[in-house]
Structure 1
Amino acid sequence: MKLQTKIPLVKQSKNQIDYNYNVLLFGSCFSENIGKKLDYFKFQNLQNPFGILFHPKAIETLISNAIKNKAYSEEDVFLNNGQWHCFDAHSKLSNTSKEDLIFYLNSEIKLTSEAIQNSTHIIITLGTAWVYRDIKTDSIVANCHKVPQKQFSKELLSVQEITNSLKNILSLIKSINNDASVVFTVSPIRHTKDGFVENTQSKAHLITAIHQVINNKSFYFPSFEIMMDELRDYRFYNEDMIHPNQVAINYIWDKFKTVWVSDESLKTMKDVDVVQKGLQHKSFNPKSQVHQQFLQNLEAKINTLKSQFLHIEF
């Protein structure tokens, strides 16, 4: 008897992620969940230089500005509730100093440009098709930064608008890096503040648009479908009943690595995991001979990994 439906997954036959490759992640907070896993296992990666970006237009703007080497200035920031913000970035970049914010925006733009050029894999997680347009400038913002709602109009991006945005993203990436594999995924996090029906409509628009653009260099990973079909139980959610809990994140990560991580790297991941758990170990008797031997063995494992991969640091 089968008590669970399974999403069929096929391991990538080429362009798999390994420890010599660079991964760049953009998008919804689910991309940061995957990024934390890459961090833990010591893969080379960069996550959301402008913070969490929920919709495709925000990601397109960042990639476009990075490739065109946009220079942020005083015209691009504003003061609200005691902090300086930028409508292109998440509030985690906001700062009490205008000068520091502008400096950081330009530093991250440069970092993003370099990462796009050097990345072998770019993972883009789309969260929602709902966007907010600044009425004054007639431009779609990445984040409202708690500016009064009356300053914005709320819109649902059409399938065609999302498709065009994703095509632009792929074209921009290709213009400076024709070799990168782009992996699209839709965040399983539900944007219930938009409404339950509206959230479903939003996800449908995103999924439909992605399937209009995937090709031999761009791919789709079904994180949304895994959550909805394989993990269709509230025990896999946090207390807010919206965000996947750690069990669900670990489950989807296991599926992702099965498809996208090379077999050789899976072996290295096990060695890294042993070291990470060893570093977290707390001894009841730190001065004991047994613990000192444990530390020597751990140091030997660290040195072996660092000799194989120069970027690895613990």
Structure 2
Amino acid sequence: MNFRTVIDPPRHLGYLDHRQHLLLLGSCFVENMGAWLQQRKFDVDINPFGTLYNPESIVRNWERMVSGAPFTADDLFLSGGLWHSYDHHSRFSSPDRDSALAHINRRLAAAHDRLPATDRIVVTWGSAYVYRLNATGQVVANCHKQPASTFTRELLAVDDIVARWLPIVRYIESSLPQCRLLFTVSPIRHLSDGAHGNQLSKATLLLAIDRLQRESRICDYFPSYEILMDDLRDYRFYDTDMTHPSASAIAYISEVLTESYLTPESREIATQWYKIYTALAHRPLTGDTEGYRTFLQKTLDRVIRFHQAYPYIDVSHEIEELKTRIKQI
């Protein structure tokens, strides 16, 4: 007997490829997937505004990314000795307002400049619950530990999500004809919403994605949520907080994604580069030695051979880093 519900997504080999420019937006789960892709040398831009959980905040930041209009000092507020933006994750916060603003706008400009060449946009929605700033009605991407009385919490409706996302889909169809949009729902459980509330939230997101898929052929869906909920379906696949997927669960979901979307060449590239990635991360336990110099030189030779085999992949940063580390010994 088979005691598992195996989730087998439709295969579309070549959907993700090392020749593509990828943009990943959304929850911390998309950052897990983005890190996995980066470690295998995919060209990935991950969350230019930091982690975003709800569909409305992603729309707001998408609109800003398309326009390229910089943020101003009026978009920041001071709390707890730090300057924050309600459109950004706390990683952009800083005790110096000018530094925070410069960081925010540098990241925005880089994302805006890269957008026209984007081939795939991967979006992970985490929750359909939003927090609206009472003073302005703005849906915030992050509450930055402000008092609960500052916000009104609400559950987005499917129709409202679809109405906000359809213009994005139409923009991609007309202005980025090479691009497709891959949706996922984060398998991370938001138990602060309550067990039932979490299910209502996830169901809302799934229904909205289904509607968008019916509206446009460029919208696709990868079942990361179903893989964890129905295939793995065991607390040993959760981290110690019992809400986030464990490293083994993320690895398994990544394997399913690989089998579904990567060509044999891309799989080979990913395998080769991950070995180089782990070598680049290695540091000696006993200081800089001649043995370590030899190790670095062999790693540099591997990177050069990799580039000769796959000249369309940029490895200039790794080559310069290795040369610098060799010279420092």
Q: Give the TM-score, by structure 2 length.
A: 0.88
Structure 2 runs not aligned, ≥5 long? 319-329
Does structure 1 residue 117 correspond to structure 2 residue 116?
Answer: yes
1:126-167 deviation per Cα after TM superposition (whole angstroms, max 9, x unaligned): 000000001110111111111111011000001111112221
Asked if 2 retains the 8 angstrom alpha-carbon contact of 1:128 and 1:203, the reply is yes
Listed as ranges, the matches of 1:4-19 within 5 Å are 4-13=4-13, 16-19=15-18
1:89-238 to 2 correspondences below 5 Å: 89-214=88-213, 215-238=216-239
Secondary structure in 1 matching 2:57: helix
1:219 Cα offset (Å): 0.4
Contact 2:173 2:218 in 1 (8 A): no
Whole-angstrom distance in 2 between the partners of 1:135 and 1:161: 19
Which stretch shifts more, 196-205 or 107-116? 107-116
How far is 1:185 from its partner?
0.2
CA distance in structure 2 between the partners assigned to 1:248 and 1:132 by the alignment: 30
In percent, how many aligned pairs have the same letter?
34
Residue identity matched to 2:141: A
Give the structure 1 partner of residue 253 of structure 2. Answer: 252
Helix, strand or coil: the match of 1:60?
A: helix
The alpha-carbon deviation at position 298 of structure 1 amounts to 3.7
Cα deviation for residue 67 of structure 1 reads 1.1
Deviations 1:236-294 (A, max 9, x none): 01110000010000000111111122221111112112323444567899656xx8876
Give, in whole Å, the separation in 1 of the partners of 2:116 and 2:285: 48
Q: Is the alpha carbon distance of 1:155 and 1:221 closer, same or farther for their aligned partners in structure 2, counting shifts above 3 Å?
A: same
Displacement of 1:171:
2.7
Q: Secondary structure at the match of 2:139?
A: strand
Tell me what 2:321 maps to: none
**Contact 2:27 2:125 (8 Å CA) reproduced:** yes
Q: In the alignment, what sits opposite 2:50?
A: 51
Letter in 2 for 1:267: E
Instruction: Give 1:38 deviation, angstroms.
Output: 1.1
TM-score normalized with structure 1 length: 0.92
Measured in 1, the distance between the counterparts of 2:284 and 2:98 equals 47
Secondary structure of residue in 1 paired with 2:16:
coil
Question: Structure 1 residues 295 and 127, CA, compared in 2 at 3 Å: closer, same or farther?
Answer: same
Deviates more, 1:166-175 or 1:33-42: 166-175
Rounded Cα–Cα distance in structure 2 between residues aligned with 1:74 and 1:282: 41
Structure 2 SS opposite 1:139: coil
In structure 2, do the counterparts of structure 1 residues 81 and 283 end up closer, same or farther at CA, with 3 Å as the change threshold?
closer
Is the 8 Å Cα contact of residues 64 and 172 (structure 1) preserved in structure 2? no
